[in-house]
Amino acid sequence: MRQGVELVAEALRVALSQPVATAVTALIVAAVSGVIVSTTGQTVAIERAVLSRIDDAGTRTIVVEDLDGRAVLDASVVERIMALADIDWAVGFGIATDVRPPGLDGAAGVPIRPYFGALPDSVSTSPWDPEPGTALAGVNAIDLLGFETAAGPVQTSRDRPEIGVVGWFDAGPPLEFLNRSLVTAPNGDEAVIRIIALANSAQRVPYLSAAIASVLDPLDPGSIAIQTSDSLVQVRAAVQGELGTFGRNIVGGTLAAGLILTALNVFGAVTARRRDFGRRRALGASRLDIVALVTVQTVAIAIAGAGVGALMGTVVVYEFVGSAPQPDFTLAVVTLAVIAGAVAAVPPALVAAFRDPVRVLRVP
Amino acid sequence: MVTLEGLSFGYRRSEPILDGLDYAFGAGLLSAVTGSSGRGKSTLLYLIGLLLTPWAGRVAIGEVPDATQLDDLDRSRLRARRIGFVFQDALLDPSRTVIDNVTEGALYAGVPRGAARARAERLLDRFDVRLRADHRPGEVSGGQAQRVALCRALLNQPDVILADEPTGNLDATSAQVVIEALSEAAHTNGVTVIIASHDARVVAACDQVLDL
């Protein structure tokens, strides 16, 4: 252990005593790391943004509909869907009917739907205890009802009991269509006619569609339609594949170029140090010591170079894309650049280790 | 004690330089290897120092009966711990200070840095170059550089010192200092000192002479 630490210290000392070779190696590795982070980093950031946009468009959404009401789904189906692995959330809705404030029979109606299960986190609401006979108004429905605040009575028709609007909700994707309506707690006898579920990844959607179909238990299976965004899922996979291939090509090409340049530079450095290695061999360095010395020296320089390059690449990405690459991506690039440096050092290290020391030690 | 038995070697198969050489260099003795150029004086030192492998024969160093049979790692460790080299041009690392040059071999012998530094200071003191400890090799004279090289060779307390024309680049006064230092290492420390040299002053100072 102590000898290992002293070998590392010796490698660092040698690196500092050869400022030109050290600077060139550090520059090469910094360039490799910087180019990868700034190009592939941008690709990754763009890929992330595009995929996020596609996902926002609903690639993870699964919609189950009872098209003509003959499936007769009850509230328990929402619980069964929620229990499936890889489902983020599921919420069911009953038949929508129009409501108006009492005494405004001629006014345009605003739909009200009973919902089943829990509203997901993407729907923010005012405090509410969902009791039958109460409802929440969507943020756009408040104006449609002619209310100044989210409070007041509504009814479906003059002879039906009033429903009290007791608060508001604001739904995000993919439930934003609810914002022009009201939701109410079910009174126990309504059927579920529409279920919206969100998978935790777009890749799981095909599997989950089948799984959901298996837990529906409809009275008439012919009335059930399950909709997913297959085409969007395919676009998503294509974008991910194309950009991934592009990024991998850049990484591979840059690493290969960096590896060759580093190997040539280290080879030049060890050639210039022939007498140094001859002296070390005479002092008792084994071939393994020489290989370790050259490799550790190169790795130490590569760590510094890769760190600086990654930092500069991150700045470039931030300037062009507006967000920094994820830390694990940057760390992976630094690790790859350092590994490339280590691999590049081995052939010149072997040349140095196996060179005949007597040839350089003899004075003609 | 270094014993050679049937030692044969050449750089080309058709031109053997050493052919079945038998010899024993005594412990605590100053030994000279002489002969005209090309007779294999330096080559013999490199064979004893395990930097070359003989065609035939063996090199016994202390209780190691045939050091030539060891693998590279064991040869290197043996060289680091038991053998010290002194070269004609001192061969110091110009990027290190004098004291760091002296302690360089400690890394390969497994001597802790602190202990190596303490030993180096004592050696520099003994060979009268302590005041130059923090200088670079370019800032010391040839004689001082050669004494620094001798300190480096002695650092790991070797059994054998191999000196290849150690006075070749020195004036008479400096050469005398180096000869005395090598003699002291042999006679005071019991080290087997083997010097390859043309220099008649060196040969005259030695206890035994191998003429190739």
Distances (CA, A) of A39 to A310, A321, B9: 11, 11, 59
Count other Cβ atoms within 10 Å, centred on residue A76: 13
- Are the CB atoms for A119 and A125 separated by under 8 Å? yes
> A85 CA to chain B: closest CA distance, Å?
58
pLDDT at A323: 77
Residue numbers in A near B113 (CB within 8 A): 6
Distances (CA, A) of A128 to A142, A146, A206: 16, 21, 36
In B71-116, beta strands by DSSP E: 83-86
- CA quadruple B99, B102, B103, B106: dihedral, nearest 10: 180
> B130 CA to chain A: closest CA distance, Å?
22
Mean pLDDT across chain B: 89
pLDDT at A245: 80
Residue numbers in A near B77 (CB within 8 A): 284, 286
Q: Does A362 contact B42 at a Cβ distance shorter than 8 Å?
A: yes
Q: Does B168 contact A7 at a Cβ distance shorter than 8 Å?
A: no
pLDDT at A340: 92
Q: Does A284 contact B108 at a Cβ distance shorter than 8 Å?
A: yes
pLDDT at A358: 87
Q: Which two tokens stand for residue A194?
A: 């529409």
pLDDT at A125: 93
Q: Which two tokens stand for residue A350?
A: 């072997």
pLDDT at A232: 67
**What are the pLDDT digits (tens) for A266-282?**
999 889 888 889 999 99
Tell which residue, A162, A65, B18, B115, has the closest CA to residue B9. Answer: B18
Report which secondary-structure segment, H or E, holds B21: strand B18-25
- Are the CB atoms for A230 and A310 separated by under 8 Å? no
Q: Give yes or no for residue B155 having a pLDDT over 70.
A: yes
Residue of chain B whose Cα is closest to the Cα of A2: B112
- Are the CB atoms for A62 and A201 separated by under 8 Å? no
Q: What residue has token string 């760091």?
A: B100
Sign of the Cα pseudo-torsion (A150, A151, A152, A154, in order): positive
Tell which residue, A257, A267, A246, has the closest CA to residue A340. Answer: A257
Total domain count for chain B?
1
Q: How large is the C-alpha radius of gyration of chain A?
A: 33
pLDDT at A201: 83
Q: Does A283 contact B104 at a Cβ distance shorter than 8 Å?
A: yes
Tell which residue, B203, B101, B113, B210, has the closest CA to residue B153. Answer: B101
pLDDT at A326: 81
> B73 CA to chain A: closest CA distance, Å?
5
Q: Does A363 contact B110 at a Cβ distance shorter than 8 Å?
A: no
- Are the CB atoms for A121 and A223 separated by under 8 Å? no
Q: What residue has token string 């290290």?
A: A349
Residue with the larger pLDDT of the pair B21 and A359: B21
A109 touches chain B (CB under 8 A): no
Average pLDDT over residues B22-49: 91
pLDDT at A137: 94
Give the per-residue SS3 of chain A: CHHHHHHHHHHHHHHHHCHHHHHHHHHHHHHHHHHHHHHHHHHHHHHHHHHHHHHHHHHCEEEEEECCCCCCECCHHHHHHHCCCCEEEEEEECCCEEEECCCCCCCCCEEEEEEECCCCCCEEECCCCCCCCEEEEECCHHHHHCCCCCCEEEECCCCCCCEEEEEEEEECCCCHHHHHCEEECCCCCCCECEEEEEECCHHHHHHHHHHHHHHCCCCCHHHEEEEECHHHHHHHHHHHHHHHHHHHHHHHHHHHHHHHHHHHHHHHHHHHCHHHHHHHHHHCCCHHHHHHHHHHHHHHHHHHHHHHHHHHHHHHHHHHHCCCCCHHHHHHHHHHHHHHHHHHHHHHHHHHHHCCHHHHHCCC
Q: In this structure, are strands A110-116 and A87-93 parallel, antiparallel, or unpaired?
A: antiparallel
Count CB pairs under 8 A between chains A and B: 74
Residue of chain A whose Cα is closest to the Cα of B74: A286
Q: What residue has token string 């777009």?
A: A202
Q: Does B156 contact A284 at a Cβ distance shorter than 8 Å?
A: yes
Confidence of residue B118 (pLDDT cuts 50, 70, 90): very high
Report which secondary-structure segment, H or E, holds B211: strand B208-211
A359 touches chain B (CB under 8 A): no
- Are the CB atoms for B212 and B44 separated by under 8 Å? yes
Look up the ipTM and state it.
0.90
d(CA A9, CA A28): 23
- Over chain A (364 residues), the average pLDDT of each successive run of 10 is 81 85 90 87 76 71 89 89 93 92 78 92 90 92 90 86 92 90 87 92 85 90 85 74 79 89 91 89 92 93 93 87 82 91 94 88 68
pLDDT at B146: 87
A287 touches chain B (CB under 8 A): yes
Domain holding B68, by residue range, is 2-211
Residue numbers in A near B97 (CB within 8 A): none
Tell which residue, B160, B179, B161, B182, has the closest CA to residue B170. Answer: B179
Residue ranges per domain, chain A?
Answer: 2-54+236-361, 59-229
